[in-house]
Amino acid sequence: MNIIVVCLLSFLVLPQMPWWFIAVLSSIVGLKSKGLLSTVFSGFICGALPWTLVLIYSYNSGVDLLIHRVSGIFGMDGITGAALVTIAVGGLIGSLGSLCSYTFTVAFKDQLIKE
């Protein structure tokens, strides 16, 4: 559910914000995450999915030539290179964002328990 909310939020907020704001949005899923793996996974999705969907939409809306050439920078054709880099970078930043909030939450909880 959180993932869907973050993705929807991304479409609304990211056009007005710098690229790294995707890490801030992805951190939302880390706040209520139940484990490290699921945090990384949901952060990855929140980072990679919104960007990749825009990429795919653009590719199918007449921006294919530009995307093809950008894929060429990474040694690939079509949308493949651009998509892989988008997924990798978006996913990594999303994962790190969610991990941040997750570790913060865990540390905060531990602190509360200790107190």
Q: How far is the CB of 22 from other proteins (least distance, A)?
A: 8
How far is residue 82's CA from residue 35's CA, in Å, rounded to a whole number?
Answer: 31
Binding-site string for other proteins from residue 10 to residue 29, where x marks contact by CB under 8 A and - marks none: ----xx--xxx--x------
- CA end-to-end span of the chain, whole Å? 32
- For residue 93, give both structure tokens: 């930043």
Residue 105: burial class (beta carbons within 10 Å; 0-12, 13-18, 19+): middle
SS3 content of the chain, % helix, strand, coil (to 5): 85, 0, 15
For other proteins (CB under 8 A), the number of binding residues is 34
Binding residues among 45-104 for other proteins as defined by CB under 8 A: 51, 54-55, 58, 62-63, 65-67, 69-75, 81-82, 85-86, 89-90, 92-93, 96-97, 99-100
Residues of the shown chain interacting with other proteins in the complex, contacts defined by CB under 8 A: 14-15, 18-20, 23, 51, 54-55, 58, 62-63, 65-67, 69-75, 81-82, 85-86, 89-90, 92-93, 96-97, 99-100
